Amino acid sequence: MKRILITGASGGVATLIRPLLRADYRLRLSDRLPVPDPVDGEEVVEADLGDLPALRKAVAGVDGIVHLGGYSVEADWETIQAANIVGCNNLFEAARLERVKRIIFASSNHAVGFYPRSQTIGIDAPVRPDTRYGLSKAFGEALAALHAYKYGAEVLSIRIGNVGEKPLDRRRLAIWLSPRDLVQLIGIGLEHPDIRHEIVFGMSDNDRAWWDNSNALRLGYKPQDRSEDFAEAVLAADDGKSGDDRVDLNQGGGFCIAEKM
């Protein structure tokens, strides 16, 4: 079995997908925080994204990387810069130095959050980040392109919507991604023979989607879960009206007004 490194392994997304990934891969788990409940066959290597030598040790000898690490909501610039700009660059540099080519980069819908919900966009739409956090994900996608075309990396950037067992509100009916569909996308990024630098949207089979995910389908993605199965209950509980058009009309929702100086 191939060994893959998961950064940000103490986070919620990693916790959801680790049991599914263990069926096909040996997992090396890395975070600056303690990783909860490692099981037999999971190797834990603590590393801060700001520490390049520690990251090199975490990366050494793996067949691929799933980069979930970093700061996952809006914050002041210093926090975002350290975790998502410097930290992401360190991760890609560690992979280059240790000759690990396959990288799955957890990008975000917030790289394009200021597109209106009335517009369907594809991966070729210019970035419109809704936060410093979203800006950092756009940076990560550009960094992936640099490493792909200059250094020979093979990177799949997944613009993740929202990962969970079910969509929790009206907005997430459009962007929901089930854990097993995320694992399928990760598998494509790790195994597809023709990856150089690809961007896909991380969503399940969502009837209300705002994104054209044809690039993921071209790569063989066949989502197994549907947000519409939960729609009746979600719509009964949430009218989708916050009173602020920036939240209600833009794809990024509340991130479009998030501000932390």
C-alpha–C-alpha distance, residues 8 and 159, integer Å: 17
133 catalytic? Reply is yes
pLDDT above 90 (res 41): no
**CATH architecture classification, 2-256:** 3-Layer(aba) Sandwich (3.40)
Nearest to 176 by CA among 186, 168, 184: 168
Q: How many C-beta neighbours within 10 Å does residue 77 have?
A: 13
Note the pLDDT tens digit of each residue in 121-159. 999 999 999 999 999 999 999 999 999 999 999 999 999
pLDDT at 141: 98
Note the pLDDT tens digit of each residue in 184-231. 999 999 999 999 999 999 999 999 999 999 999 999 999 999 999 999
% of the chain surpassing 90 pLDDT: 97
pLDDT at 23: 94
C-alpha–C-alpha distance, residues 214 and 201, integer Å: 9
Active-site residue (options: 25, 115, 133, 221): 133
